[in-house]
Copies of this chain bind each other. A is one copy, B any other.
Amino acid sequence: MTTGFFDGLSPARYQGTPATDPLAFRHYDPDEVVMGKRMEDHLRFAVAYWHSFAWEGGDPFGGPTFERPWHPQDDMGRAKMKADVAFEMFDLLGAPFFCWHDADLRPEQGSYAENLATLEEITDYVGEKMEGSKTKLLWGTANMFSHRRWMAGASTNPDPDIFAYAAATVKGCIDATHKLGGANYVLWGGREGYETLLNTDLVREGEQMGRFLSMVVDYKHKIGFEGQILVEPKPQEPSKHQYDYDAATCIGFLRKWGLQDEVKLNLEQGHAILAGHSFEHEIAVAAAEGMLGSIDMNRNDYQSGWDTDQFPNNVPEVALAYYHILKAGGFTQGGTNFDAKLRRQSLDPEDLIAAHVGGMDTCARGLKAAAAMLEDGGLEDALAERYAGWDDPQAQAMLTSDLSAIQARVIEQGIDPQPRSGRQERLENYVNRFV
């Protein structure tokens, strides 16, 4: 017996490019083998509970528009109906994974102990549903930004009681993630940042955050949770400045606290854009440090200064992202979450399916293009050629030399280096052959 929410909509299945059915996959064939691995195993799609089921359609200038049967979300009965609908959608899409915040799953109401109890209740319920489904948990996380208690941050809060509450909350969420077999646990620093430096002590808050993350890592080991611990860079919003600004900032922070081997990054395209970076930049930076964990492959409107969290739909951009992911070895524990935050005017259940089908198909197309580029090897060859000079032992030796010796050699040999073309246009055209 179904909820009836998706009545009239058929499962989305692969039909290939001739298909015009708006809810069929034209590119995503889970079983197609790409570079020796099934596409489903490469992409590891996860549906995000928050935008797809918990967001009610409000924005800063207006209230809810969606009016789902499980809204308003202040009741455990409706929380279970929401889970029923969610799993119906996972089945329709053939989604291998999903992910959640605690507050997506059930209402936050009452004391910490009461919230912990309802979290256990709903995750038991969800666990049962998972048994009858192929959909697994990519990651869980704690929402420590929506309730007013978090308004000045969680682990970085000026009030130590809120730090305590945050620690307890994360423990509960890691436990729940572990119980459901989650492959990762994510921390997004929602309000870990500041509104104004006038009332903020950066040193204290940095120390609180470093210690907090260390405790999370300790706890993971203590309970034998083998998932990755991930942090998620974002430059701002809701805070004026978020401490996890971008990949480089997070990496610096992890290294400062000695966590560079324990924590990896969950990168989001939209957050990259808001920080002034391309998504492939963030991926490449994380990969260069061995800290690429998982991704949120959504899309941000380039002209909006806030998080629009749309499903990915630009294949050339997505292809470059997967190119860097594949180059770094692809996902092991991580995967492709994508926020398919509907536009506020997209009221119909069909819109929800369309957003996910469109996003998955775009990713599949991007992945195949990326794999083709890697297999062709054109970019790698160009790179090897460009840096070939450094393969020379003398060049390598210079890296352990000193300024005086190098200067002497420059003078003696009359070194007068001539620039060579970077050939960017040719490489950009090359990419367009594959997308």
Contact = CB atoms under 8 A, between A and B. Distances in A.
A77 interface: no
A65 B392 CA distance: 27
A1 interface: no
Contacts of A431: 198, 313
A395 interface: yes
Q: Which of A202, A236, A424 has the most CB of B within 10 A?
A: A424
A422 B195 contact: yes
Contacts of A195: 343-345, 422, 424
B417 A65 contact: no
Contacts of A273: 302-303
Nearest to A426: B354
A258 to B, nearest CB: 11
A320 B200 CA distance: 14
A118 interface: no
A404 interface: yes
Contact of A152 (B208, B251, B422): B422
Interface in A164-223: 164-165, 167-168, 170-172, 174, 190-191, 195-204, 206-208, 211, 215-216, 218-219, 222
A401 to B, nearest CB: 8
A57 B152 CA distance: 13
Interface string A107-151: 000011100100000000000000000000000000001111111
A9 interface: no
Interface residues of A, number: 159
Contacts of A170: 403
Contacts of A407: 167-168, 171-172
A355 interface: yes
B389 A158 contact: yes
Contact of A423 (B63, B277, B351): B351
A163 interface: yes
A342 B399 contact: no
Contacts of A387: 158, 201, 204
A255, A315, A355, A429 interface centre (most CB from chain B within 10 Å): A429
Nearest to A305: B305
A146 B424 contact: no
A104 to B, nearest CB: 13
Nearest to A199: B422
A386 interface: yes
Contacts of A112: 410-411, 414-416
A419 B389 contact: no
Interface string A301-312: 111111100010
B383 A199 contact: yes
Contacts of A383: 199-201
A4 interface: no
A168 B347 CA distance: 25
B206 A151 contact: no
Contacts of A343: 195-196, 422, 424-425
A164 B196 CA distance: 45
Contacts of A416: 111-112
A111 B416 CA distance: 7
Interface in A294-336: 301-307, 311, 313-317, 320, 324
Contact of A427 (B59, B62, B196): B196
A304 to B, nearest CB: 6
A382 interface: yes
B399 A345 contact: no
19 contacts: A62-B191, A112-B410, A163-B398, A164-B398, A168-B403, A171-B407, A196-B428, A197-B320, A198-B379, A198-B427, A211-B400, A215-B402, A236-B276, A236-B303, A236-B304, A241-B277, A248-B249, A351-B426, A354-B423
